[in-house]
Amino acid sequence: MKKFSDTSFAVAAGSNGFTAKSMDKQIRKELGVHGKKWQTFHGGYFSDPVVASPFVEVVQKAIGLSRPGVIVDLGGGTGFLLNELIKHNVNPRIRLVNLDISQRQLDVKPHSRIYPVHQSMTEFRRADAHKGNKRFLFMMRSALHYFGRDGLMPFLHHLRSQLKKGELFVHQTACFDCSGDARCLNRLYQCIGTRKWYPTVKQLCMRLEKAGWNIVSIVPATSLLLTSHDLGKRYSLNKNRLLEIRDELLKYFGEKNDIFRLTRRDFYAFLHYRIFTCVAI
């Protein structure tokens, strides 16, 4: 994988105000849409088997390559993805662990094979999932952005420390080919009042490699449509604030069909996803 130069990030945990608690606080802000509500939110994106199928296929390939004894879904929410693996006849001897900070998410347990762990990703240790010597595989969908620009590297280092050399990490992460598109979405989330951050593909590859991962493959996944209505519900934004955000994005970035566009009374934005298969080196 080609190396990319980017020296703008902070490596040390806690730099520029980032702490594990601040990231966890961000997740807790969204508890109102967790649980059964999450299954229908954002048009049902995160509970749609068709939407999930590219990710599930990549995970299945990773299972075939690494033959894990334990699979941990980091920030696995309701356990939907692990349940999809079960539907696709994942080896019954593999221990399936759903790690999430939200008890509301974990309470929506879809299958008896799934072992819930109520824990923060920033505090998670390998032994929380299994104390033996089984081989691990980590998976994650749409969660790295929670760590923000300053928290991403510390978290990737933490995650790498919990895997042994040769073990795999498969994640679906929102990132952009064009830096201008990334800036537009980052400005949107800054206006919303979150610390979420979306990198370019190059920035993300560079950070993964710096943290001790070799990127085996990158494949596209279905984009996520964000409506201002859903964003308002998720982040408790009133109509006036949404109009202010719409006007600011229009002023500085303009409309672009696959990134940001206006409707008669609303605005839409899009998160573009890639699925990364990474091996610990």
Could you read off the pLDDT of 17-68 as tens digits, one per residue? 445 555 555 655 555 554 556 566 678 888 999 999 999 999 999 999 999 9
Cα 74 to Cα 77: distance, rounded to the nearest angstrom: 8
Assign 115 a pLDDT band (cuts: 50, 70, 90). Answer: very high
Instruction: Let me know if residue 28 belongs to a domain.
Output: yes
Cβ-contact 195, 171 below 8 angstroms: no
pLDDT of residue 12: 32
Give me the pLDDT at residue 104, please. Answer: 83
Tell me if 254 is assigned to some domain: no
What's the pLDDT score for residue 10? Answer: 30
Phi, psi of 131 (to 5 degrees): -95, 0
141-179 confidence digits (pLDDT tens): 999 999 999 999 999 999 999 999 999 999 999 999 999
pTM for the model: 0.87
Number of domains observed in the structure of the chain = 1
pLDDT of residue 43: 80
Question: Does residue 7 surpass a pLDDT of 80?
Answer: no
Half-sphere exposure of 248 (CA within 13 A, CB side): 16
Residue 229 located in a structural domain: no
Q: Is residue 47 part of a domain?
A: yes
**How large is the average pLDDT for residues 80-94?**
97
Tell me, what CATH number does 159's domain have?
3.40.50.150
Q: What is the mean pLDDT of the chain?
A: 88
Any domain includes 92: yes
- Give me the pLDDT at residue 264, please: 82
135 domain-assigned: yes
Q: Which domain holds residue 163?
A: 15-183+196-223+272-280
Between residues 206 and 17, the one the model is more confident about: 206
pLDDT of residue 16: 37
In whole angstroms, give the CA distance from residue 77 to residue 213: 25
Domain annotation covers residue 8: no
Whether residue 103 lies inside any domain: the answer is yes
Nearest CA to 236 out of 195, 192, 267, 279 is that of 192
One-letter amino acid of 4: F
Amino acid present at 261:
R
